[in-house]
Amino acid sequence: MQIEYLTQMKNTPIIKGDENRGISEQEIEKLEQNFGIEFPKAYKEFLFLGGKYQNCIDDWDTDYLYLDWTQKNIKENMIGINLQLKPFFAFAEYNGDFFFFFLDEGEPPPPFMLFTMIK
């Protein structure tokens, strides 16, 4: 995959002994099919470089295996606080807080954070 947006992540695969572990382009395509959406290129790069493990966002769970769980939980939290947003995709979770991006924001989509305050 040609890296356009995440060149710093590509050029720094190891930080403090922690190495990024990505997933294949085929696995990314399967995820897109599973969710019925096309990911922005910047997020595809993130998955390619660190979909199994990333060393960029300390302590945040971004493992691609838990994306179903992450989507379900952020939606439940948004319903719980009566928050309805345009289509989005959550890509990281930590202690009930979420990073997400809107699916119609262009390239690269800016990340947003939902603090649920459910601790």
**Could you give the CA distance from residue 21 to residue 23 in angstroms, rounded to a whole number?**
7
Give the model's pLDDT for residue 16: 83
Give the model confidence (pLDDT) of 27-86 as tens digits: 999 999 999 999 999 999 999 999 998 888 777 888 898 999 999 989 888 887 788 788
- Whether residue 66 is contained in a domain is answered as yes
- Whether residue 42 is contained in a domain is answered as yes
Total structural domains within the chain? 1
The CATH number that applies at residue 92 is 3.40.1580
- Whether residue 80 is contained in a domain is answered as yes
Q: Is the peptide bond before 13 cis (omega within 30 degrees of 0)?
A: no
pTM of the model as a whole: 0.86
- Please give the residue range of the domain that contains residue 58: 7-114
Give the model's pLDDT for residue 51: 92
- Whether residue 2 is contained in a domain is answered as no
**Could you give the CA distance from residue 82 to residue 60 in angstroms, rounded to a whole number?**
25
- Whether residue 119 is contained in a domain is answered as no
